[in-house]
Amino acid sequence: MSTHTPDRPRRRGRPPKDSARPYAETRNALIQAGLAVLTEKGYSSVGIDEILRSVGVPKGSFYHYFKSKEVFGQELISAYGLYFARKLDRFLLDDSLSPLTRIRHFVQDASQGMARHDFRRGCLIGNLGQEMSLLPESFRAQLKEVFEDWQARTASCLRDAQACGEVAATLDPDQLAEWFWTGWEGAVLRAKLEASSEPLERFTEGFFQLLQAHAGR
Amino acid sequence: MSTHTPDRPRRRGRPPKDSARPYAETRNALIQAGLAVLTEKGYSSVGIDEILRSVGVPKGSFYHYFKSKEVFGQELISAYGLYFARKLDRFLLDDSLSPLTRIRHFVQDASQGMARHDFRRGCLIGNLGQEMSLLPESFRAQLKEVFEDWQARTASCLRDAQACGEVAATLDPDQLAEWFWTGWEGAVLRAKLEASSEPLERFTEGFFQLLQAHAGR
DNA sequence: GGAACAATTAGACCGGGTGTCTAGTTTTTG
DNA sequence: CAAAAACTAGACACCCGGTCTAATTGTTCC
C-alpha cells in the first residue's frame, strides 16, 4: 500500500487541464504520505523530500502546496486528529452494542492497525508529544486539543456506560477518559518497543478490570 | 548544573600523568552529558559533538572513549537503567514507611525531577522506546530489560503492600507493576506536552484509587 | 495570433550536519 | 633514548536540511 507512484515523468510548467490530478488530490496524497511517515518516525528526523518522493511530487513543488514544513505538520496533526475522531465515533456511537463493548471494539481495531504495520507506526499525537522539545511551539496547543477531543468522545461513551449500569456512577468519566488515553499512549510505546500487541491488550484488560472493580462495590 | 567545562585549553598528545582528569572520569562526564541531552531529545536527532562540546572534549577523542555512537547509546541505556533502579531501591525499600507511601514518594521525586528541567526532559527509556523504528536493533532487548527490571522492583514493593493489607491479595503485583509503568510513561509524555506535572499527578492518583477500590471489596 | 495570467517545477542556495578514522603529537615506560 | 601508550586535530566523504527564484508550460480572452 505504498503511495509511491512512478507515474508519468512530470514535465515542467503548467500541466494540461485534464492529465494532472487536481491540486486538492495531490495535496491530499502528500498529507496521507506524511501521516504514514510521521506516525513511524516523528517530525524532526524526517525530511520533506522523503515524503515528496514517496508521492512522486518533485521537491520544488512543496511550497506550492504548503507554506512551510511547520504548517504541513500542523495540517498533519489536525488530519490525524480528525481521522481518529471519526474512527472513535464510528465505534463509540454504535448503539447496537453496549458502551463498554464499543470501547473494546475500538481498542481491538486500533491494535490491529498497529499490527498491520508490524508495530512500527504508533500514534502521531503521542510521537509528537514525546519530541515536543524539538518541535515548533505552535504544535503544543494543537496536540493538547486533539487529546482533549478524543477524551471528550471517550468520556461521553463512559457516561452511556454509567447510564446503563456498566460502570459505577461514582466514577468520574472525564477522569477515566483522560486516564485511558494516558495509559493507552504508554501502551502504544511499549507495543512499538516489544513489536507486539500484548502491551495494548494487557493495558486495556487492566482498564476494564478497574471499571469492573468499582462497579462491583 | 550544565556540565560545560571551559577548563584548560586541551593540548594535543598524551597528557601529563596528573594534570588530566583520568580516563574514567572523562568517560563518565560524557555519559552524564549524554543522559542530559538524550532524555530531552532522544537518540537519533542528537549528534555526538553536541555532547562532546558540552563536556569540552574534542570531537576527535570520541572514539577513544567509545567504539561508536551505537555502543555509546547502549551504555547510556544501562547507566540510566541503573540510576533509576537505585533510585527505586532508595524509595521502595525504605521500611520506615508503608509500601504505598514509598511509591508515592518515589513518584513525587520523579515528578519534581521533571519540573526541575521545565518538563523538557523525560524518561530516556520511554524516549527511545518511542523512536525504536529509528534505532539500532540492538537497543530493543536492552530497553525491554530495563522496563522489566523496574517493574520487578515495583512489584516487590506491591507485594509488601499486600502483606500489610494495603493492597488486596487478589491482585497480581506483577500485572499492577507493568500497568503502573506503562501508564507512567504515558503520563510523562503528557507532562512534556503540557509542560506541567498535572498529568503525572492525575495518573498516579488514579493508580492509587484503583488499588484502593480493590482493597475495599 | 498573441499578450496576460495561472500553475507547476528545476535546480541551486547555503549552511549545516553525519559518524568515522588516520596521522600526528605528547607523555610515560623500560 | 627507543618503544609503547594516551590523546586529539582535522579532514574525509557524504547526505541532508528547508527555502525560493526563475523558468517553463498551459489556459484565457481579446
User: How far apart are alpha carbons B105 and B206 in whole angstroms?
Assistant: 16
Mean local confidence (pLDDT), A105-125: 97
Residue A58 lies in a domain: no
The answer to whether residue A2 scores a pLDDT higher than 80 is: no
Reported as a single tens digit per residue, the pLDDT across A132-166 is 999 999 999 999 999 999 999 999 999 999 999 99
Distance A108 CA to D19 C1' (A): 43
Residue B120 lies in a domain: yes
Q: Is A93 on the interface with B (CB under 8 A)?
A: no
The answer to whether residue B198 scores a pLDDT higher than 90 is: yes
The answer to whether residue A116 scores a pLDDT higher than 70 is: yes
Instruction: Compute the nearest-CA separation of A140 from chain B (Å).
Output: 6
Q: Is the CB of A59 under 7 A from strand C?
A: yes
Residue A151 lies in a domain: yes
Q: Output b/e per residue, B77-108; b: 16+ Cβ within 10 A.
A: bebbbeebeebbeebbeeeeeebbebbbebbe
Q: Is the CB of A67 under 7 A from strand C?
A: no
Distance A12 CA to C2 C1' (A): 22
More confident residue, A184 or B26: A184
Residue A36 lies in a domain: no
8 Å CB contact between A36 and A117: no
Contact A189 B129 (CB under 8 A): yes
Residue A206 lies in a domain: yes
More confident residue, B195 or B2: B195
Q: Which of A37, A130, A188 to mutate to test the interface with B (most CBs of B within 10 A)?
A: A130
- Cβ neighbours of B171 (radius 10 Å): 18
Instruction: Compute the nearest-CA separation of B108 from chain A (Å).
Output: 18
Residue B62 lies in a domain: no
Residue A104 lies in a domain: yes
Residue type, B182: T
The DSSP annotation for B39-86 comes to HHH-STT--HHHHHHHHT--GGGHHHH-S-HHHHHHHHHHHHHHHHHH
Q: Is the CB of A47 under 7 A from strand C?
A: no
Domain of B138, in residue numbers: 74-215
Protein CB footprint (7 Å) on chain D nucleotides = 4-11, 16-28
Comparing A8-12, A159-163, B63-67, which segment has the lowest mean pLDDT? A8-12
Contact A190 B147 (CB under 8 A): yes
Distances in Å between the Cα of A10 and the Cα atoms of A19, A85, A123, A162 are: 11, 36, 34, 57
The answer to whether residue B16 scores a pLDDT higher than 60 is: no
CATH code, A113:
1.10.357.10
- The reported pLDDT for the residue numbered B160 is 96
Comparing B25-34, B79-88, B91-100, B173-182, which segment has the lowest mean pLDDT? B25-34
Chain A, chain B: beta-carbon pairs less than 8 Å apart:
130
Helix axes A198-215, B173-194, angle to 10 degrees: 100
The answer to whether residue B18 scores a pLDDT higher than 60 is: no
CA atoms within 13 A on the CB side of A85: 15
Using the CA of B23, give the nucleotide whose C1' is nearest.
Answer: D6
- How many domains does one find in chain A? 1
Residue A8 lies in a domain: no
Contacts of A210 in chain B (CB under 8 A): 210, 213
- Write down the ipTM of this complex: 0.88
The answer to whether residue B10 scores a pLDDT higher than 70 is: no
pLDDT exceeding 90 applies to what percent of chain A? 73
CA atoms within 13 A on the CB side of A184: 25
pLDDT exceeding 70 applies to what percent of chain B? 87
Mean local confidence (pLDDT), A28-49: 92
The answer to whether residue B171 scores a pLDDT higher than 50 is: yes
Out of B42, B185, B203, the one facing A179 most closely (by C-beta) is B203
The answer to whether residue A24 scores a pLDDT higher than 90 is: no
